[in-house]
Amino acid sequence: MAALARIPGSAPAAAAAAGGLVGGFAVARWTKKRQLGGAALLGAGTVAAVQWQRASGTKAAVGLGTAYLAAFAGAHPLAKKIGPWPAVFSVAGGVAAASYAVTRR
């Protein structure tokens, strides 16, 4: 399990990042409160960033954090082309794959 960049007792960083994107969107959509969705996105992103830093260092954490934010921003225009849920799942999958690729050992 160390290959998945885990903090003892936590989910892999890839799951935290993907879950933050999907969960943040779901919370915002179902509660109709974008701030709550943003809080979920921020919380999961923070958990993932801590795991990225511990697993692969600060440079990797900054790079993956930038990818996480870019995925969030990129999901918006992508949603206009393919729909909101497919867009969110697409960017979440991309971030999870990048996270796994960078943090695996």
**67 in a domain, yes or no?**
yes
Cβ–Cβ under 8 Å, residues 98 and 21: no
| pTM for this predicted structure | 0.86
Query: Do the Cβ atoms of 24 and 44 come closer than 8 Å?
Result: yes
Dist. CA 103–CA 74, nearest whole Å: 23
Per-residue model confidence as pLDDT tens digits over 34-80? 999 999 999 999 999 999 999 999 999 999 999 999 999 999 999 99
**Distance separating the N- and C-terminal Cα atoms of the chain:** 10
Q: Report yes or no on 80 lying in a domain.
A: yes
Assigned domain for 2 exists: no
- Rounded to 5 degrees, what are φ and ψ at 7? -90, 135
Q: How many domains does the chain have?
A: 1
User: 53 in a domain, yes or no?
Assistant: yes
Q: Tell me which residue has tokens 């999907």.
A: 22
